[in-house]
Chain A
Amino acid sequence: MKIRPYGDTLNDGKIQLSFTLPLPCNAHGEETAKALVQKMGIHDVQIVHASPLNATFSFYIVYGTTHHQIDPTTITVTEIDSDTLTKSEIEAFIATHFDRPITFIGASTGTDAHTVGIDAIMNMKGYAGHYGLERYKGIQAINLGSQVENETLLEEAIKHNADVILISQTVTQKDVHIQNLTSFIELLEAEGKRDDFIVIIGGARINHALAKELGYDAGFGPKKYAYHVASFAVHLLKQKKDA
Chain B
Amino acid sequence: MKLNLNQTQINRCRARAKTIADTIQTFIDQSTTVSVERTILRFLSIDGVNPLDVPYVNVITDHIIAEADLSLGVAHYLSLAIEDTGLTPQEIAQAIDQKQLSLKPYQTKTHPNHSLLYPTIEEQLNRVNKQRRIREKTLAENPKKSTPELYVIVATGNIYEDIEQALSAAHKGADIIAVIRTTGQSLLDFVPYGPTTEGFGGTMATQENFKLMRQALDDFTTSHQRYIKLVNYASGLCMPEIAAIGALERLDMMLNDSLYGIIFRDINMQRTFIDQYFSRLISAYAGITINTGEDNYLTTSDAYEHAHTVLASQFINEQFAKNALMEERFMGLGHAYEIDPNLENSFLYELAQAELSKAIFPNAPLKYMPPTKHMTGDIFKGLIQNALFNIVAVTSHQSIHLLGMLTEAIHTPFMSDRALAIDNATYIAKAFKDFSHEISYRPDGIIMNRANDVLHQAETLLKTIQEEGLFTTLEKGRFAGISRKLNAGKGLDGVFKKAPSYENPVMTRLIERLKEGNHED
- Give chain A's interface residues, CB within 8 Å of chain B: 18-20, 51, 53-55, 57, 59, 111-113, 115-116, 119, 123-125, 128, 145-147, 170-174, 176, 204, 222
Partner pick for A204 among B187, B201, B410, B412, CB 8 A cutoff: B410
User: B201 and A53: CB pair below 8 A?
Assistant: no
Q: Do B300 and A173 touch across chains, with their CB atoms under 8 A apart? A: no
Interface centre among A19, A51, A53 (most CB of B within 10 A): A53
> Are A20 and B201 touching (Cβ within 8 A)?
no
Q: Which residues of A contact B419 (CB under 8 A)?
A: 51, 53, 59
Smallest CB gap from A113: residue in B = B183
Contact A18 B416 (CB under 8 A): yes
Of B167, B299, B342, B481, which contacts A54 at CB under 8 A?
A: B167
Most-contacted residue by chain B among A18, A54, A59, A174 (CB, 10 A): A54
Contact B411 A171 (CB under 8 A): yes
The answer to whether A57 and B201 have CB atoms under 8 Å apart is no
Are A147 and B187 in contact (CB-based, < 8 A)? yes
Bound CA span A222–B376, Å: 8
Mask of B167-197 contacts with A, CB within 8 angstroms, 1/0: 1100110000000001110010000000000
Q: Is the CB of B201 within 8 A of A171?
A: yes
Q: Quick one: which of B157, B340, B372 contacts A173, CB cutoff 8 A?
A: B157
Select one of A20, A54, A171, A222 contacting B412, CB under 8 A.
Answer: A171
**By CB atoms of chain A within 10 A, which of B201, B266, B410, B481 has the most?**
B201
What B residues does A128 contact at CB under 8 A? 340, 342
Assembled-state Cα–Cα distance A128/B453 (Å): 24
Interface residues of chain B, those whose CB is within 8 Å of chain A, are 155, 157, 167-168, 171-172, 182-184, 187, 200-201, 264-266, 299-302, 340, 342, 372-373, 376-377, 409-412, 414-416, 419, 481-482
B163 to chain A, nearest CB (A): 12
Once the chains are docked, how many angstroms separate the CA of A55 from the CA of B224?
Answer: 14
Which B residues are CB-close (under 8 A) to A18? 416
Complex CA distance for A53 and B182, rounded to whole angstroms: 25
- Residues on the B chain within 8 Å of A54, using CB: 167-168, 171-172
Known: A18-B416, A57-B415, A171-B411. A111 touches B184 (CB 8 A): yes
With both beta carbons as reference points, the residue of chain A lying nearest to B301 in the complex is identified as A125
B interface: dominant SS: loop
On whether the beta carbons of A173 and B412 are closer than 8 Å, the reply is yes
Given contact pairs A18-B416, A123-B481, A111 touches B183 in the complex (Cβ within 8 A): yes
* Count of inter-chain pairs, beta carbons less than 8 A: 74
In the bound complex, CA of A115 to CA of B297 (Å): 11
A146 to B183, CA, bound (A): 10
Could you tell me if A53 and B409 are in contact, using CB atoms closer than 8 angstroms? Answer: no
- List residues of chain A with CB within 8 A of the CB of B411: 171-173
B377 partner, pick from A111, A112, A204, beta carbons under 8 A: A204
Which listed residue, B168, B300, B302, touches A57 by the CB 8 Å rule?
B168
Across-interface contacts of B200 in A (CB, < 8 A)? 111, 173-174, 176
Q: Quote the shortest CB–CB distance from B337 to chain A (angstroms).
A: 15
CB B500 to nearest CB in A, in angstroms, measures 39
* Bound Cα distance A239, B182 (Å): 42
> In the assembled complex, which residues on chain B have CB atoms less than 8 Å from the CB atom of A119?
300
User: Given the complex of chains A and B, what is the CA–CA distance between A204 and B378 in angstroms?
Assistant: 12
Q: Are A20 and B299 in contact (CB under 8 A)?
A: no
Query: Cβ of A116 and Cβ of B409 under 8 Å apart?
Result: yes
Bound together, the chains give a CA A125 to CA B301 distance in angstroms of 8
Among residues of A, the one whose C-beta sits closest to the C-beta of B375 is A116
CA distance A55 to B415 in the complex (A): 13
23 examples of A-B residue contacts, CB within 8 angstroms: A18-B416, A20-B414, A53-B415, A54-B168, A54-B172, A111-B184, A111-B200, A111-B201, A112-B183, A112-B201, A113-B183, A115-B300, A116-B299, A116-B372, A125-B301, A145-B266, A171-B409, A171-B410, A171-B411, A172-B411, A173-B155, A173-B201, A204-B377
Contact residues in A for B187 (Cβ distance below 8 Å): 147
**C-alpha gap A172/B183 in the complex (Å):** 11
Residues of A within 8 A of B340 (CB): 128
Q: Contacts A116-B299, A171-B412; is A53 near B168 (CB within 8 Å)?
A: yes
Whole-angstrom CA separation of A114 from B326 in the bound complex: 31
Contacts A53-B168, A53-B416, A54-B171; A125 near B157 (Cβ below 8 A): no
Least Cβ distance of A222 to chain B in Å?
6
Contact B183 A147 (CB under 8 A): yes
Nearest to B306 among chain A residues (CB) is A125
Which residue of chain A has its CB nearest to the CB of B414? A20
The distance in angstroms between the C-alpha atoms of A53 and B419, with both chains bound, is: 7
Interface centre among A111, A124, A176 (most CB of B within 10 A): A111
**Apart from A20-B414, A171-B412, what 9 extra A-B contacts exist at CB < 8 Å?**
A54-B172, A59-B415, A59-B416, A112-B201, A115-B299, A116-B373, A123-B481, A124-B481, A173-B157
Which of A57, A113, A147 has the most B CB atoms < 10 Å from its CB? A113
Chain B positions within 8 Å of A222 at CB level: 376-377
CA of A171 to CA of B302, assembled, Å: 21
Query: Complex formed: what's the CA distance from A101 to B168 in Å?
Result: 54
Task: Give the distance in Å from the alpha carbon of A145 to the alpha carbon of B340 in the complex.
Answer: 22
Chain A residues with CB under 8 Å of B264's CB are: 115, 145-146
| A179–chain B nearest beta-carbon distance, Å | 10
Measured CB to CB, the closest approach of chain A to B413, in angstroms, equals 11
Q: In the docked arrangement, what's the CA distance between A171 and B415, Å?
A: 17
Set of chain A residues within 8 Å of B482, measured between Cβ atoms: 145
Task: Specify which chain B residues have a CB less than 8 angstroms from the CB of A146 in the assembled complex.
Answer: 264
Cα–Cα distance between A111 and B172 once the two chains are bound (Å) = 30
Question: Which residues of A have CB within 8 Å of B155?
Answer: 173
List chain B residues, Cβ under 8 A from A170: 409
The 3 closest A-B pairs by CB, nearest first: A111-B183, A54-B168, A111-B200
Shortest distance from the beta carbon of B480 to any chain A beta carbon, whole Å? 10
CB distance from B507 to the nearest CB of A (A): 31
Contact indicator B301/A147 (Cβ below 8 Å): no
Question: Contact: B184 with A147, CB < 8 Å?
Answer: yes
**Which partner residue on chain A sits nearest B201 by CB separation?**
A173
CA distance A174 to B183 in the complex (A): 14
The verdict on A20 contacting B416 (CB below 8 Å), with A111-B183, A123-B481, A171-B409 known, is yes
A119, closest chain B residue (CB): B300
Q: What residues on B are CB-neighbors of A59 within 8 Å?
A: 415-416, 419
Chain B residues in 8 Å Cβ range of A125: 301-302
Assembly CA distance A225 to B414 (angstroms): 29
Write out the residue numbers on chain A whose beta carbons fall within 8 Å of the beta carbon of B342.
128
CA distance A67 to B218 in the complex (A): 49
Residues of A within 8 A of B265 (CB): 147
Complex CA distance for A54 and B416, rounded to whole angstroms: 10
Per the bound structure, the CA–CA distance linking A177 and B495 in Å amounts to: 35
Complex CA–CA separation, A128 to B373 (angstroms):
11
The reply to whether B201 and A113 contact each other, CB–CB distance below 8 Å, is yes
- Give CA–CA (A101, B177) in the complex, Å: 49
Flag if B415 contacts A20 (CB, 8 Å). yes
